[in-house]
């Protein structure tokens, strides 16, 4: 069983405070003239709302069977596919591909991310968009949280492996997943090598401008 399968029963509780990405994704989908795809769809937390509020067909891709089972249980009209986002491909070009919940950070290397970006670019129709969010590394926050027990949203610890640009989210109940952070310029470089163009970079989902104080990056790229 993968670590993502182990997270499936508690993921919605873990993500209960994650709400801002839902209306953001809904608005992007409303402006999409064609198929909409969510990478790392998980339990369908975002995709189910997008499908219900826009009436659009949403394709959801995830590597975890247990997560996909939860997504099916939402009752939303989702076309769910099991697969690795690094092998993502579509038969029909998409108008929008999005990846919420910092899920691109589960890819450990720059090469993995480049492969995903190139796959997304190949799957988008001209004018199609790719949107995602990630955190920016905060040294002060890392020093405070590194290995310290946390109670919310569920008991866990977050050890930092700075040399590997990695954090390990370890629940007190046992399951653990890792995320590998990257700088803003690395994300901009990925946009460039994939042949996409930057449409917007925000500091939060509410279209807040990116500043030196921002700790969240929200990117929207477009295929020329």
Residue 154: partners with Cβ closer than 8 Å, 6 or more residues away = 10, 13, 14, 171, 172, 173
Q: Is residue 130 part of a domain?
A: yes
Domains held by the chain: number: 1
Question: Binning pLDDT at 50, 70 and 90, where does residue 168 land?
Answer: very high
Decide if 83 contacts 61 (C-beta within 8 A). Answer: yes
Q: Is residue 145 part of a domain?
A: no
Q: Is residue 169 part of a domain?
A: no
Q: What is the pTM of this model?
A: 0.96
Q: Is residue 162 part of a domain?
A: no
Q: Is residue 192 part of a domain?
A: yes
pLDDT single digits (tens) 125-140: 999 999 999 999 999 9
For residue 133, the SS3 value is: strand
Q: Is residue 164 part of a domain?
A: no
Q: Is residue 196 part of a domain?
A: yes
pLDDT single digits (tens) 19-53: 999 999 999 999 999 999 999 999 999 999 999 99
- The predicted model gives 190-205 an average pLDDT of 97
> 214: domain CATH number?
3.40.50.150
Distance CA 114, CA 182 (A): 13
For residue 176, the SS3 value is: strand
Range of the domain at 190: 3-137+183-222
Distance CA 169, CA 157 (A): 6
Q: Is residue 48 part of a domain?
A: yes
The yes-or-no verdict on residue 2 having pLDDT over 70 is no
């Amino acid at each position: 069983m993968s670590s993502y399968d182990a997270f499936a029963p508690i993921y919605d509780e873990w993500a209960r405070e994650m709400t801002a990405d839902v209306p953001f994704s809904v608005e992007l989908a409303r402006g999409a003239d064609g198929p909409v795809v969510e990478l790392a769809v998980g339990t369908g937390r975002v995709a189910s709302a997008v499908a219900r509020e826009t009436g659009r067909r949403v394709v959801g891709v995830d590597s975890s069977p247990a997560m996909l089972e939860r997504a099916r249980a939402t009752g939303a009209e989702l076309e769910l596919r099991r697969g690795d986002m690094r092998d993502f491909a579509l038969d029909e070009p998409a108008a929008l591909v999005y990846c919420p919940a910092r899920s691109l950070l589960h890819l450990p290397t720059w090469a993995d991310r480049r492969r995903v970006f190139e796959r997304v670019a190949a799957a988008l129709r001209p004018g199609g968009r790719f949107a995602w969010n990630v955190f920016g590394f905060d040294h002060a926050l890392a020093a405070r949280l590194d290995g310290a027990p946390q109670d919310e949203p569920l008991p866990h610890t977050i050890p930092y492996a700075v040399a590997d640009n990695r954090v390990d989210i370890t629940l007190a109940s046992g399951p653990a997943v890792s995320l590998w952070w990257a700088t803003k310029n690395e994300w901009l470089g990925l946009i460039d090598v994939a042949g996409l163009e930057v449409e917007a970079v925000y500091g939060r989902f509410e279209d807040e401008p990116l500043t030196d104080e921002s700790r969240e990056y929200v990117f929207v790229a477009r295929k020329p």
